[in-house]
A and B are shown apart, each in its own frame.
Chain A
Amino acid sequence: MTWWCSTVEWPWTWEWRPYVGAWLLVLVMTVPYLRSMRRRAKTVGLTDRDKRAIVWYLLGIVAIWVASDWPVAALSASYLLTMHTAQFILYGMLAAPLLLIGMPEWMIRRFLERTRLYRAYRMAANVFVAAIVYNGVLILTHVPNLLDGLRASQLGSFVLDIAWLIAGLIVWTPVVSTISELRLRGAIARCTFLFLATGVIPMIPAALITFSPEPSYATYELAPRSWDFTALEDQQLAGAVMKVTGIFITFPVIAYIFIQASLAESRHVGTRDEGGSAPGPAAAA
């Protein structure tokens, strides 16, 4: 039984393969969440905001499932660096913010309290630490020998994927966390941080990959090829995809934050910052 995608020797086929670990991950992340929501619904009741959160969260889970299951994970682990980059984007740039938006403040506070992770999380959410962790993971996981080494085994490949997800959760916390004290105050601060941490620094590894004169990763260079482009072309495309992420994800989010901030400002001038544990319908009145 295959738990997690790792590098294989055989040529790519469109024959479906099960990856049990991906389903388990999805279950482990979904079942407790939905149970917690149901308990909340029976006791306090769910606000509209909670209901919207469920949608965001489930979208995040879908992103994780797509990233960790066949065919994305299979292509990523053995054949195409471009798919590997797409997988990184799915985990770190899509699933991570969706999950954060999808966890209401009461839930995440309770979770952090029970797991005693609050302090660690607060430290990690410091803008400097978050930027270092995210970019550190990004750069480390693209060091050729490390990437080849991690991709080769199921455990290594799993560690790589989870590292991306955790790094994504950390870097997005100052921007979209539902915990007000972990979020940066002010739209400009949030946008600046997001721009620098996820838009600018990752350009460096992306450029290294794009402009390398030869394929950098044995995993993809020596992979059986079922399509009409070389390992180097794949690598250049991957570098481009990594750069384009900024344009397609980071910048729309920045724009959204700005629009929201200016709308909020024009609506409630002088209202105190929302984000309390239970704003309730009264807050919107």
Chain B
Amino acid sequence: MTRRDNGAVLDSSAASTEARRPDAAAPASPGARPPAGGLPPDRLPPAGPSRRAISLIVLAIALLAAAVIVSMATRNRTTVDAVAGDDGWAGAVLEPTRPRPEFTLTDTSGRPFDFAAETEGELTFLYFGYTNCPDICPIHLSTLNQALRAQPDLSATVVFVTTDPERDTPERIRSWLDGFNGAFIGLTGTPEEILAAEAASGITPAVPDAPGEDGFYLVGHATEILAIGTDDRTYLAYPFGIRQSDWELDLDRIASGEVPPVASAGAVDVTAAVAGQGKAGEAASVYLTFDNRGDDTTIDAVSTDAADQVVLHGTDASGVMTDASTLDLPSGTTRLEPGGRHIMLEGLRQALEPGDTVTVTLHFADGETAQVAMDVVAYDDVLDRTTPQEAGA
């Protein structure tokens, strides 16, 4: 619940100030020597900040610091522990990443809106809320809007799905969204359709509260805004409490071509993952890209439910494919590519067709594991998906 990075820095400096100061201030505490007589002397000694004066200031600062520490522990404005891991993304990196959700609802002009098809390949922010929301929805959307305005190089689609179709007519959604940004897309549907959209997006379904005497009711709903990348992965979730400055950090990284990892374990991020297609009973290859920010490490084993066994394939100096017992991951970037090292899923339990997803678990030497979900693509497309995307700008 505490604020991130600099909060901690301030905390510690405040704590050390407090620890040091009282002793220094004690001998000079006010009132140690009361003024002689009722009326103090008319003339002052030459002015200038004396030692006492400095200890006074120090005492005041120490008191303030103490108060801060007390209040830090009891703060009640919900803010999010923005930096979850050492990856530095302000949003929560979703692991394993999910594909772009598929659902069809109705937009504010009354036309059907096939979310996956209409937003394919676009950076998309998806939010489920309601226009009568007194606090979270308007603040959250407004914060996102401000952050996006601060990053005009980035083109992004914002889609709002109502969780209160009863009151949120298309007109009402439209005028409410226009209050933020006329380009925001608003969707509604039957309660069943909305429920299906929430399920497809991996969002906890919204539940309306009992109406009060005046008929007004709140709707309990998930506060995450999902970020779906140009690679059609749902990779980040922004719960309420994310601040504009946090969001801008992430948008800057996305604008510079960076993507949140597909999976991570310790200091190793899997930054790209793709599987080739394969028939049932046959084999398929898995190509991963690793970014190791730590020391050299190895992957000792890979497991999956999709195949009978997993083999690590290396290539020797002459280019002949060899079985390797482990996969070395030196510090830095390691790329598994067609013609190079890769992971083979052997004895596929069912066919892997383009458009499917497959999940493998990586077992690292230090005991860490990472679950990697990836798209299955046609062999011709594998190279496209393993080559890092160039920065957009």
Among the 9-residue stretches B100-108, B237-245, B292-300, B358-366, the one with 4 or more Cβ atoms under 8 Å from chain A is: B237-245
Q: Which of B17-71 contact A (CB under 8 A)?
A: 30-31, 33-35, 38-44, 47-50, 52-53, 56-57, 60-61, 63-64, 67-68, 70-71
| Residue B109 lies at the interface, judged by CB distance under 8 Å to chain A | no
Q: Give the chain B neighbours of A224 by CB distance below 8 A.
A: 134-135, 138-139
Among the 9-residue stretches A96-104, A147-155, A200-208, A250-258, the one with 4 or more Cβ atoms under 8 Å from chain B is: A147-155
Q: Which of A120, A148, A231, A277 contacts B56 (CB 8 A)?
A: A120
Output the least CB separation between B52 and chain A (Å).
Answer: 5
Given A145-B3, A224-B139: A123 and B53 interface contact (C-beta under 8 Å):
yes
| Residue B7 lies at the interface, judged by CB distance under 8 Å to chain A | yes
Among the 9-residue stretches B74-82, B345-353, B382-390, the one with 4 or more Cβ atoms under 8 Å from chain A is: B74-82
Among the 9-residue stretches A7-15, A24-32, A60-68, A87-95, the one with 4 or more Cβ atoms under 8 Å from chain B is: A7-15
* Cβ contact within 8 Å between B61 and A136: yes
Output the least CB separation between A81 and chain B (Å).
Answer: 13
| Residue B142 lies at the interface, judged by CB distance under 8 Å to chain A | yes
Write the chain A residue with the least CB distance to B241.
A222
Q: Give the chain B neighbours of A10 by CB distance below 8 A.
A: 134-135
Q: Give the chain A neighbours of B34 by CB distance below 8 A.
A: 113, 116, 118-119
Q: Which of B35, B49, B71 contacts A118 (CB 8 A)?
A: B35
- Once bound together, how far apart are the Cα atoms of A33 and B50, in whole Å? 32
Given A146-B10, A148-B75, A218-B3: A129 and B44 interface contact (C-beta under 8 Å):
no
Write the chain A residue with the least CB distance to B135.
A224
* Cβ contact within 8 Å between A126 and B71: no
* Cβ contact within 8 Å between A156 and B31: no
* Cβ contact within 8 Å between A9 and B77: yes
Q: Give the chain A neighbours of B48 by CB distance below 8 A.
A: 126, 128
Q: Which of A115, A123, A155, A215 contacts B67 (CB 8 A)?
A: A155
> Among the interface residues A7, A116, A146, which one has the most CB atoms of the partner chain B within 10 A?
A146
Q: How many residues of A contact B (CB 8 A)?
A: 58
Given A214-B150, A222-B243: A119 and B74 interface contact (C-beta under 8 Å):
no
Q: Which of A140, A145, A223 contacts B64 (CB 8 A)?
A: A140
Given A119-B31, A122-B44, A181-B43: A133 and B71 interface contact (C-beta under 8 Å):
no
Q: Give the chain B neighbours of A277 by CB distance below 8 A.
A: 39
| Residue B97 lies at the interface, judged by CB distance under 8 Å to chain A | no
* Cβ contact within 8 Å between A133 and B47: no
* Cβ contact within 8 Å between A153 and B74: yes
| Residue B122 lies at the interface, judged by CB distance under 8 Å to chain A | no
* Cβ contact within 8 Å between B71 and A163: no
Write the chain A residue with the least CB distance to B11.
A145
Interface size class for chain B?
35 or more
Q: Which of A204-230 contact B (CB under 8 A)?
A: 213-215, 218-219, 221-225, 230
Output the least CB separation between A212 and chain B (Å).
Answer: 9
- Once bound together, how far apart are the Cα atoms of A35 and B143, in whole Å? 53
* Cβ contact within 8 Å between A113 and B35: yes
* Cβ contact within 8 Å between A9 and B68: no
Q: Give the chain B neighbours of A120 by CB distance below 8 A.
A: 30-31, 56
Q: Give the chain B neighbours of A123 by CB distance below 8 A.
A: 30, 50, 52-53, 56
Output the least CB separation between B26 and chain A (Å).
Answer: 14
Q: Give the chain B neighbours of A11 by CB distance below 8 A.
A: 134-135
* Cβ contact within 8 Å between B245 and A128: no
- Once bound together, how far apart are the Cα atoms of A120 and B35, in whole Å? 10
Q: Which of A119-174 contact B (CB under 8 A)?
A: 119-124, 126-129, 132-133, 136-137, 140, 143, 145-146, 148-153, 155-157, 159-160, 163
* Cβ contact within 8 Å between B39 and A230: no
Q: Give the chain B neighbours of A223 by CB distance below 8 A.
A: 77, 139
Q: Which 9 A-B pairs have the closest CB atoms?
A: A156-B71, A120-B30, A152-B75, A116-B31, A224-B135, A159-B67, A153-B71, A153-B74, A214-B244
